[in-house]
Amino acid sequence: MDTADRLIVCGGCNAKLGPGKLENILKDLHQDKKPNVMVDFETTDDAAILKINDDTAIIQTIDFFPSMVSDPYLFGQIAATNALSDVWAMGGSVISALNIVGFPEEMNQSILHKILKGGLEKVTEAGGFLAGGHSIQDHRPKYGLSVNGIVSPKKILRNDTCKLGDDLILTKPLGVGIITTAYGAEQIGEEEFNEAIKSMTTLNKYAAEIIRDYPVTACTDITGFGLLGHLNEFLHDEYTAELDSTNIPIIPSAYDCAEELLVTGGGQRNRNFLEGKIDFTFDDPALEEILYDPQTSGGLMFSVDPKYTDEILDKLSQLELPSAKIGKIVPKGDSEIIVK
Separation of alpha carbons 8 and 69, rounded Å: 7
In this structure, are strands 337-339 and 239-243 parallel, antiparallel, or unpaired? Answer: parallel
C-alpha 297 chain-centroid distance? 5
Annotated binding residue at 283? Answer: no
119: nearest Cα among 98, 105, 137, 104: 98
Annotated binding residue at 134? Answer: yes
Length of the chain: 340
Annotated binding residue at 44? Answer: yes
β partners of residue 241: 329, 337
Residue type, 304: V
DSSP secondary structure code for residue 329 in this structure: E
Annotated binding residue at 76? Answer: no
Query: φ, ψ for residue 249 (rounded to 5)?
Result: -70, 130
Separation of alpha carbons 164 and 176, rounded Å: 30
SS3 211: helix
Q: Quick check: is 13 catalytic?
A: yes
Q: Could you give the count of Cα atoms lying within 13 Å of 25 in the half-sphere of its Cβ?
A: 8
Annotated binding residue at 46? Answer: yes
101-to-17, 144, 249 alpha-carbon distances in Å = 19, 7, 33
The dihedral over CA atoms of 26, 229, 48, 136, expressed in degrees to the nearest 10, equals 70
108 and 5 Cβ atoms separated by less than 8 Å:
yes
Annotated binding residue at 124? Answer: no
Q: Residue 53 class from Cβ within 10 Å (0-12 exposed, 13-18 middle, 19+ buried)?
A: exposed
Annotated binding residue at 63? Answer: yes
Q: Which of 13, 162, 219, 257 is catalytic?
A: 13
Strands of the 48-51 sheet, one edge to the other: 37-39, 48-51, 57-66, 142-151, 93-103, 129-137
Separation of alpha carbons 180 and 193, rounded Å: 7
Annotated binding residue at 133? Answer: yes
Annotated binding residue at 160? Answer: no
Binding residues: 16, 43-46, 63, 86, 133-135, 221
Binding residues for Mg(2+): 46, 86, 221
Binding residues for ATP: 16, 43-45, 63, 86, 133-135
Question: Catalytic amino acids?
Answer: 13
